[in-house]
Structure 1
Amino acid sequence: MRILHTSDWHVGKVLKGRSRVEEHIAVLAQVVEIARAEQPDLVIVAGDLYDTAAPSADATRVVTRALTALQRTGAQVVAIGGNHDNGPALDALRPWAEAAGVTLRGAVRDTPAEHVLTGTTRGGERWRLVALPFLSQRYAVRATEMYDLTAAEATQTYADHIARLIAKLSEDFTEPGVVNLLTAHLTVIGAAAGGGEREAHTVMGYAVPASVFPGSAHYVALGHLHRAQAVNGPCPVRYSGSPLAVDFGEEDNLPSVTIVDVTAEQSARIREVRIDRAVGLRTVRGTLAQLAELDPGEALLRVFVREAPRAGLREEVQELLPHALEVRIDPDMIPVPGSGTATAQRAGRSPRELFRDYLDTRGHAEDGVRELFDELYDEVSSAQ
């Protein structure tokens, strides 16, 4: 059978105030084109369909249309909830999904069979898929209790709970003649983060060893980390990565989807298919003169400007580089407080004097800034 594995769409993402909905439409259209060309039997979307737990109407339209278009390629489509998704809200879409021929699993439910999916390919190959949405620490404890496993001990780790859940859900992976698959949204120890995930859910407390996956699995399709990569484990384990760079921390990632060919008797053969429809992200550094020489094309920019801080500098940079979404002073250009003029003492100093000393320590020398402060101070003083 053939599998198309994708994850971490993050539809609804706004980058420094810029909506990326048009990019998402283009990127997901390319994913659908790849599905038409590759003709997978199964499409797995391993979580984080949305960027927020309260997606906009536009984001919902983009996701539901993409899932429907993937199903219309002839593939069976399974999508799970990630940490950015609202699991119960995804489950509320299940009546629509079932009518559209799409399988959604937003949150862990109290029946193990809900998360063990089975099917048969057009060629007659049988498959079984364990679909495990993202679980926070407290819900991992509740899930193990729901499945009548050993009572959760207070000292047990998140990895313990996940391992027990997966062991319970994959009990039937020993059946011969079936392709055994697992999809989950989590962090595996040793994998490269990729730059765009919320650190609260990628710290070690939420990480699990690859040993939680059963050796009898033919392929494990993971979501959560945005860099496409294989993970060493007892079976083939892989992150497909995000199909576009979600933020500037991911500008060096190579967005792709993963194609997997596997049978019950043969090892998985894995390859990447690149996604190139999104606008590029790029970080640039330099003085105004150096920035003026750049030709970044249509790339969205994060700029570290090597000039002393002053009023209007951001506007000057954005005039040179209209696609600059973020402008920062290069850290090397920011004076260290106390390295030059001594830090002003507050006692006996007027607000005007303190503000001028602050500007001096930060490298601001323009009289215009001081005059604006004087005007503001006079207005506030008069009002009082």
Structure 2
Amino acid sequence: MRILHTSDWHIGRSFHGNSTLDALRGVLATLTEQVREHRVDVVVVAGDVFDSATPAASCYTMLTDVLRDISDAGAQIVLTSGNHDNAARLGFMAPLLRDGIHVVTDPARVGTPITLTDEHGPVHFYGIPYLEPIVVRGVWAGVPLRTQEQAIAHAMSLVHADRAVRGGRSVAVSHCFAAGVEASPGVEREIRTDLRQGSLDVVPLSAFDGPDYVALGHIHGRSRLGEHVRYSGAPLHYSFSEAGKPRGSWLVDLDADGLARVEWLELPVPRPLVTLRGTLDELLSDASHEAHIDAWVCAVLTDATPQPEPMRRLQQRFPHCATIQLDPQGRVEDDGRSYRARVVAARSDGELIDTFLTHVREGEGASADEHEMLADVIASRAAAAHEATVPA
């Protein structure tokens, strides 16, 4: 049996205020072609199908189109819910879908597989939706479920019990943060938030012993925790911290004895991501940046003082400049005096103006050219004032 493992589609997620629907639609169209080209039997989607618990209507339309296209390409689908999904909303559509599209969102179904067959016999797919401890306590009464580690451990105990009875080959699908993976900063922030709320913790790799393959979701980069335990990552880059990391899915072959082969299938990157660093003038003029004209750009500005209309000016050169970060360099160290104290201490009009500029520019006073210009203006005004006091 040939399986394509994907996850974390995050349909509906925006990228710094820009819709990703069209880009994702194109990438998933390529994935569908890979299903057809490689004669995939089953596509596994390991959670976070949507980015929001309340996705827009266009997100449902896109999911319907993609699932239909994958089904038309000849594959069955096993799809589970992730922490971004609303399990009830996602599961509501399950009975309405055509045969061969299986949506698993109900924790009460954990341990009851979706059984598909090939020439070697049955393969049991055990879908484990995202398990929030406070929710599943009502499903598994009497089981201590304070952490997700405990929830996954109990879910896998149900899987093991069923496997012992049924026998044969098996695949587990789960959405969690398993031991031994390195998350991107964006996902790490999400994990730390969930940890503070007590709803997510690290699940040990040993929890997934037993099945022939374990398809995981939640981490946006591909990761191999063991030969049979892997993350596929997201099909799109959803943050600048993911720039340069491959996008794709795992092509998994099961033979009569279990896991036979795993291959990585690349997906296209619709628009590359790049972080450019320098002063605004450098970013606008450096010829080496021509290669990034069509990329998503994160501009890290090192100007010592705020620059006028930086986004407008950057987008004239980089139409897809998505965000600006400020990292000013070369500021004058604060001497601890208040602005009032500096004004009082000024010994001339030039020093007074320079004190004002230093204050409003957050540490940078007048430049050499500005000093020269100010000196000329002050001298001219002094001369005019002197002439006005001299009798004609």
**TM-score, normalised to structure 1's length?**
0.82
Contact preservation (8 Å) 2:5, 2:232:
yes
**2:362 matched to 1:361?**
yes
> 1:247 offset after TM fit, Å?
1.5
2:180 aligned with 1:190, yes or no?
A: yes
**Alignment check: 8 A CA contact 1:30 1:277 kept:** no
Partner amino acid for 1:247?
S
1:244-279, CA deviations, whole angstroms, 9 ceiling, x for partnerless residues?
A: 111111112100111001124143411101001421
CA distance in 1, matches of 2:340, 2:215: 59
Q: Alignment partner for residue 275 of structure 1, among 267, 272, 278?
A: 267
1:313 to 310, 313, 316: 310
Residue deviations 1:116-171 (CA, integer Å, cap 9, x gap):
211113x35310011011122312433432xxxx4327xx5431221012111331
Structure 2: how far apart are the matches of 1:341 and 1:315? 35
Structure 2 residues not aligned, in runs of 5+: 345-354, 371-392
Show CA shifts across 1:2-37 (max 9, x none): 100000111111111111111011001001010001
AA matched with 1:14 = S
Q: Number of paired residues? A: 347
Superposed CA deviations along residues 305-340 of structure 1, whole A, max 9, x for unmatched, are: 2223233233322223222111222x243848x624
- Return the match for 1:339 from 318, 334, 338: 334
Matched with 1:78 is 78
Shift of 1:361: 2.9
What's the offset of the Cα at 1:237?
0.3
Inter-partner Cα distance in structure 1 for 2:211 and 2:219: 21
1:265–1:325 CA distance, 2 compared to 1 (3 A): same
The residue aligned with 1:322 is: 319
2:45/2:79 contact within 8 Å kept: yes
How many Å separate the matches in 2 of 1:48 and 1:198?
A: 16
What is the CA–CA distance in structure 2 between the aligned matches of 1:365 and 1:66, rounded to whole Å?
59
- Report deviation, 1:111: 4.5
What is the 5 A alignment of 1:260-299? 260-291=252-283, 292=285, 293=287, 294-295=289-290, 296-299=292-295
Give distance in 2, aligned partners of 1:279 and 1:169.
41
Counterpart in the other structure of 1:231:
225
Whether 1:303 and 2:302 are equivalent positions in the alignment is no
**Structure 2 equivalent of residue 221 of structure 1:** 215
Q: Distance in 2 between matches of 1:176 and 1:270?
A: 25
C-alpha separation in 2, matches of 1:10 and 1:237: 22
Are positions 1:23 and 2:23 aligned together? yes
Instruction: Say if 1:312 and 1:218 are closer, same or farther in 2 by CA, change over 3 A.
Output: same
- SS of 2:325's equivalent in the other structure is strand
- 8 Å contact 1:50–1:84 — kept in the other structure? yes
State whether residues 218 and 264 of structure 1, in contact with CA within 8 Å, keep that contact through their aligned partners in structure 2.
Answer: no
Aligned residue in 2 for 1:259: 251
Counterpart CA distance in 1 for 2:29 and 2:180 is 32
2:159 is the alignment partner of 1:163: no
The residue identity in structure 1 corresponding to 2:220 is: H
* Cα distance in 2 between the residues matched to 1:217 and 1:107: 20
- Write the distance in 1 (CA, Å) between the matches of 2:190 and 2:153: 21
Instruction: Give the RMSD, CA atoms, in angstroms.
Output: 2.9
Aligned equivalents of 1:319 and 1:190: distance in 2?
Answer: 43
Residue 311 to residue 28, structure 1, CA distance change in 2 (3 Å): same
**Larger-gyration structure (1/2):** 2
- Indicate the SS of the match to 1:142: coil
Q: Is the 8 A contact 2:120 2:255 kept in 1?
A: no
Letter of the structure 2 residue corresponding to residue 225 of structure 1: I
- Tell me if structure 2 keeps the 8 A contact 1:47–1:82: yes
1:246 maps to 238
Identity among equivalent positions (%) equals 28
Q: 1:323 to 1:264 in 2, by over 3 A?
A: same
CA distance in structure 2 between the partners assigned to 1:290 and 1:185 by the alignment:
44
Q: Any stretches of 5+ residues in structure 1 without a counterpart? A: 368-384
